[in-house]
Amino acid sequence: MKKILAIMMSLVFAFTIFGLSGCGNEEAQVEEETAAPELSEEYTAFADAVDVDFATEVTQKVAAFGDDEAVGMRSSGSPAEYETCQYLEGVMNDIGLNNVTVDDITVDGWTFNGANITFTNAKGEEQKIDLGGYQTTLQADNQEVELVYVNRGTEEDYEGLDVTGKLVLFEVNQEEDWWINYPAYQAKAKGALAAVAMREFVNKDEDGTRIGVQDVCGPADAPALAISRKDCNALKKAIKASGEDSIKVVLNADSKVTENTTSHNLYGEIPGAEDETIFVFSHMDGYFHAEYDDAWGVGASMAVAKAMIDSGYTPDKTIRFCIHGCEEWGREGSEYDWSTGAYEEIMTEHPDWVNGGFAIVNIDGGYPVEGEVNKGTRSSIELKQFAKNSVEELSDSTVFEWAFQGLSTYTEDFQWTRQGIPAIVAGDGNGTSYDDNGYHSTYDSFKYQPLYKEGSEEMIKTMGKVAIDLDSCLVRPMNFTARIKNFEKSLNDDAKDQFAEALDEAYAASDALKAVMDEVEKSGDDAAATELNEQTQEVYLAFQDSLLGLDFINVDAIIRHDMYEDNLDNLDGAIAALEKGNIQEAYDDYLWAVDWSWYDMYFDKETCDYMKNQLFSKRDDTWGADLIKYPHADTNAIVVSLRDKYDKKGADVSEEIEALKAIRDQQAGYLEEVYADELAGLQKATDLMNGIVTGE
């Protein structure tokens, strides 16, 4: 630290104006906003070397791998995933990457060799249906079994039905209603052989043949299969024509989960002169043929690597291209069952990569489907402005409207950011075309969603530019003031007073640190920059460790106090409504939004208890470890009681009010403890920033 102070005091620096994506001060950036930026010679040569046809060729070859002839699938630890890895190892060697390496990793594996149902349809004809699968175990060889339709698959939908040993067919909207794990486990709890789910999308497919899935977030012994809308309707019509509650079908299924098996990660690199690394991510596994998610990301990352090599780009930092296995799924019986390959890479195989890890550029996202006009990035808060500046230098030639957002848990960089390496991720911005039509489905293909070639070229060039711009920075361009502002904005009015002094100190420390970062960047001193980057990584970790949390429902990243503040607001609303005798208002407007209450309203206690326990029981070796400290607000008994009284005028709800008040007191206690942890973390980050500035 003293070395940095000495540099600041002894050197006289020439004034340098940095471009919009540069690593210098914000005033210089503002001065250049009105002028067309000059793109670097390195980037221009790279962009000229981008080969979109090569990216497309790699994409299509990756997409061709699949374990099931009917629907594809290259899943965690499966033969298709390994064949993909072998092919891509050859691609890396062919384009000239150095140190090409395949790492074996231990994960939970899933191989889906297909499933189908044969039945007599409403016309009296024999009909065969091919099915998709979820990461569960189900073996059947021409097994005759009854199939029952259970609407949405909720507890109420089973009333009057005996489904023991039967298949249950239901329709689920995993984005709007609930994840597959709830109705699938509910089927298990009712004694069903397996669930068959028709996943709804925002946009209906015209021919009804699309099959959609997601990661299962549940146990392997609650088996689930997936069916298209057209085939679901055919089964429903056959049941209706039979005049009974069910029909007989013949089931074949070969879906197997294997714990502690082998998957693979692959990487190759362009060596740099400095002891720091920029990582470029994509993943080789995928649902169905996954031509976009993430065969296109793999093709794009290889196109970035090839263009860098072909253009003669010599990076200052090593650029390491990592293609992960088991990104979509790799942990059985866990709420946090995705991004397993990336987790294993940074936590088990190469924890040493954290030291000198400069940043991540993740190309898993931003899929350029024909007709989409929106794209964007997701970034660690501290890199959000840098990403925006870098991308907007290409604004004169863009074919997209760009938006810039914060990170999500849904991409494989999340655990790496928890370890201290910030990320910039390709994303759809405000676009929804891919998600609404093809995400994790048989429509994830160029056949159903044609590739937008011009957009593909732009995404490759843009993400390559972000990597090159990061490489041009000596000092990691972290904006800690943005993190502090984001935290302050999230606090309710009462809490802001509690944090006022600490926030003022944090802002002052961040401003002083920024001045140090700017001066070291200008100095051109590699050693001083490396030392400073190690120190600011500690600041980043202090913010992450104390402020980052997860919510119970969407399993997305939040600031830790957000969940408890929201719970208190909704509990207060529910209590006030009940005190006025408004049971329906309390139930529909407030109670549903308190932690698990939404699921308690639709599924039995056995199902909900399993899912609640799963949050804590299998998380230690996942990216979700330690991000939720306290148990949920247990409203199950209150939900059941109020549901029974929902339509009863003048019903006595005094016991429910007292129970909710007790939960409110508990949540208020949790919130104060979370505030105390956040305050300590904010002060730790402030002390670290001040220590860098003073050299202590």
> pLDDT tens digit string along 415-451?
999 999 999 999 999 999 999 999 999 999 999 999 9
DSSP alpha helices (H): ranges in 190-288?
229-242
Asked whether 337 and 216 are in contact (CB, 8 A), the reply is yes
Which amino acid appears at position 549 of this protein?
A: G
| pLDDT confidence band for 21 (50 / 70 / 90) | low
| pLDDT confidence band for 35 (50 / 70 / 90) | low
Beta bridge partners of 281: 322, 362
Mean of the per-residue pLDDT values of the chain: 94
Which pLDDT value is given to residue 553? 83
Residues 6+ apart with CB under 8 A from 68: 112, 113, 114
| pLDDT confidence band for 175 (50 / 70 / 90) | confident
Q: pTM (2 decimals)?
A: 0.94
CA neighbours closer than 13 Å in the CB half-sphere of residue 15: 2
Residues in the chain: 696
Nearest 5 degrees, angle CA 592-CA 227-CA 448?
A: 100
> pLDDT tens digit string along 560-612?
999 999 999 999 999 999 999 999 999 999 999 999 899 999 999 999 999 99
| pLDDT confidence band for 554 (50 / 70 / 90) | confident
Which pLDDT value is given to residue 658? 98
What average pLDDT does this structure show over 289-293? Answer: 98
Separation CA 417–CA 412 (nearest Å): 10
Whether the predicted pLDDT of 13 surpasses 50: no
| pLDDT confidence band for 14 (50 / 70 / 90) | very low
| pLDDT confidence band for 22 (50 / 70 / 90) | low
Which pLDDT value is given to residue 24? 59
Separation CA 448–CA 525 (nearest Å): 52
Separation CA 237–CA 168 (nearest Å): 15
Which pLDDT value is given to residue 36? 60
Separation CA 281–CA 366 (nearest Å): 13
Whether the predicted pLDDT of 7 surpasses 80: no
Which pLDDT value is given to residue 530? 97
What average pLDDT does this structure show over 112-119? Answer: 98
| pLDDT confidence band for 23 (50 / 70 / 90) | confident
Q: What is the largest CA-CA distance in the chain?
A: 91
Q: What is the 3-state secondary structure (H, E, C) of 631-695?
A: CCCCCHHHHHHHHHCCCCCCCCCHHHHHHHHHHHHHHHHHHHHHHHHHHHHHHHHHHHHHHHHHC
> pLDDT tens digit string along 323-375?
999 999 999 999 999 999 999 999 999 999 999 999 999 999 999 999 999 99
Please name which of 371, 364, 323 lies closest in space to residue 92, comparing C-alpha atoms: 323
Separation CA 486–CA 491 (nearest Å): 9
Whether the predicted pLDDT of 142 surpasses 60: yes
What average pLDDT does this structure show over 162-168? Answer: 98
The percentage of residues in the chain with a pLDDT greater than 70, rounded to a whole number, is: 95
Separation CA 430–CA 433 (nearest Å): 10
Whether the predicted pLDDT of 286 surpasses 80: yes
Whether the predicted pLDDT of 684 surpasses 60: yes
| pLDDT confidence band for 105 (50 / 70 / 90) | very high
> pLDDT tens digit string along 506-535?
999 999 999 999 999 999 999 999 999 999
Whether the predicted pLDDT of 12 surpasses 80: no
What average pLDDT does this structure show over 165-177? Answer: 95
| pLDDT confidence band for 70 (50 / 70 / 90) | very high
Which pLDDT value is given to residue 115? 98
Whether the predicted pLDDT of 31 surpasses 60: no
Whether the predicted pLDDT of 183 surpasses 60: yes
| pLDDT confidence band for 4 (50 / 70 / 90) | very low
